[in-house]
Amino acid sequence: MPTIKINAEKCKGCSLCLKACPKQCISFSQQFNKAGYRWATLEKEDACIGCGFCYLVCPDVCIEVYK
């Protein structure tokens, strides 16, 4: 099952990955990270197809894609 791993501390909550995800499976955390951002998390784990679009658009290079 494909999945992604998002580095919560590096994420600045820009939401570009949320928009890029064709399956709308990323959403924001309820908590804040040390820098004060709600970070992106993979909410619908089963829906991820490992397409890598989130990785492509992430300006903070904080997403890893596994397949």
Whole-number minimum distance, CB 62 to other proteins, in Å? 8
Integer angstrom CA distances of residue 36 from 10, 31, 33, 39, 53: 11, 9, 5, 9, 25
- The Cα 36–Cα 3 span in angstroms is 25
Structure tokens at 61: 């290079």
Q: Contact between 65 and other proteins (CB under 8 A)? A: yes
Burial 32-44 (b: 16+ CB within 10 A, else e): ebeeebbbbbbee
Q: Which is nearer to other proteins, 30 or 59 (CB)?
A: 59
Q: Contact between 49 and other proteins (CB under 8 A)? A: no
Q: Of these, 6, 13, 25, 48, which contacts other proteins (CB under 8 A)?
A: 13
Q: Contact between 53 and other proteins (CB under 8 A)? A: yes
Q: Which residues bind other proteins (CB under 8 A)?
A: 1-3, 5, 9-10, 12-16, 19-20, 35, 37, 50, 52-53, 55-61, 63-67
